[in-house]
Structures are given as structure tokens and as C-alpha cells.
Amino acid sequence: MSQIRIMVVEDHHVVRQGLVALLKSVPDMNVVAEGADGKQAVDLFRQHEPDVTLMDLRMPNMSGVDAVVQIRRDYPAARIIVLTTFDGDEDIYRALQAGARAYLLKGMFGDELMDAIRAVHAGKSRIPPAVAERLANRMGGPGLTARELDVLRLIVLGNSNKEIGEGLHISEATVKTHINNILSKLGVTDRTQATTTALQRGIVHLDSQGTQ
């Protein structure tokens, strides 16, 4: 029986080892490479050209989304499944825009993962209904401009209007205009709600380096 050659990219060692052990127990699957960050993912993909790649979204050195973009640029037929604990609609949107063929949450059952791997290997996409709904909500709403995203990130970090203006080299009046647009597009009424919504939806992420 022909085996599906799989690469697993996950920065948490225990999680990665668990996935590898699970996949190795399945007769029609074979793990050919393991990576711990996006940069390794790109290098290992070139070496092994796996049939299907399981890619964590948030990793050091290079994010999963950036790795997907780079791999798909060099190998347009690459079949990648994003496997993550993050279910914000922005995370989903970025991953699928980058070229991922499936988006699965780490809380799923093993059978779901195997089914998704086989489906993606066969050229299909696999997005759970709950994830598809969040993606539809993202696609249906007005997106934030690049400058509005800059302002929102600084709001999440607790910057005042004055600090935002100084940081982005714009006037406080312009900052207020951007904030009004952000509140309107996010469907919220104040900065606190904007911060909560931005984090919940994955529009802004807080990490050790600040935001991304």
C-alpha cells in the first residue's frame, strides 16, 4: 500500500512527538520529517518534498503563515494543513490566503486528522463547519486598512492617542479618525472593546515580542 509522506512542524516538543507517534501508527501514513519552526519547515520541505505538511500557526523564527507562503511560492502544488489552537477568524483567513488546504484545531479527534490528511492528499480542502462560519464572517465584513491595523496594534499595547500619533508620525486628529473607523468596522464602541475583539479574532496577537 502506498503511504502518504508527511512532515510535521510544531514548536512544542511534546505535541509534535504525540502527533508523530499517532501518525506512525497509521498504515497508510509515514512521517518523513519533523520541524520546530517555520524556517526549518521551509528547509525540510525542500529536502523531503512531503505529500502533506502539518503546520503549526504560531512558531518562533518564522510563523506558520510565512512558511506556507514561502513553500507555496517555490512549490505551488504543496498540500499544507494548518493545525493550531488559535481559532480567530483572522488566523483562519491568513492561513488560507497563504495557500493552506485545511485548517484544523488541535482539540479535534485523531480520526478527523487522518480524514483531513487523506482528503488533502487527494487534492481536496477540509475546513470544519465552525471554522468555515468564522471565515465567512471575516469575508463578509469590511477589512481594516494597513494604517488602521498599525493604530489597532498600538491601542492593544495601551498607547494613548498622543503616543500613537508620535509613533506613527501622524497628528492626533488623524489618530482619532482612524480609531473611529476601527470601532465602526469592528462593531464596538470603545478602545477596551476594540482590544478584546482584536485579540479574540486574532487580528492582533500578543507575544513576548509585543504584537504581530
Long-range contacts of 169-177 (CB under 8 A, 24+ apart): 175/151
Judged by DSSP in three states, 7 sits in strand
In this predicted model, what pLDDT tens digit does every residue of 20-45 receive, in sequence order?
999 999 999 999 999 999 999 999 99
Nine-digit cell string for 185: 468596522
Q: What is the pTM of this model?
A: 0.67
Q: What residue ranges define each of the domains in the chain, with the CATH number in brackets?
A: 4-139 (3.40.50.2300), 146-211 (1.10.10.10)
- What is the per-residue pLDDT for 210? 41
Inter-helix orientation angle 191-200/172-186, to 10°: 60
Query: Among candidates 94, 86, 31, 24, which has minimal Cα distance to 66?
Result: 94
Nine-digit cell string for 189: 464602541
Indicate if the pLDDT at residue 128 is higher than 80.
no
Q: Can you give 41-86 as a three-state secondary structure string? A: HHHHHHHHCCCEEEECCCCCCCCHHHHHHHHHHHCCCCCEEEEECC
Nine-digit cell string for 57: 500557526
Pinpoint the alpha helices (H) of 75-210: 89-98, 110-121, 129-140, 146-156, 161-168, 172-186, 191-200
- What is the per-residue pLDDT for 135? 67
- What is the per-residue pLDDT for 72? 92
> Is the torsion defined by CA of 14, 210, 187, 145 positive or negative?
negative
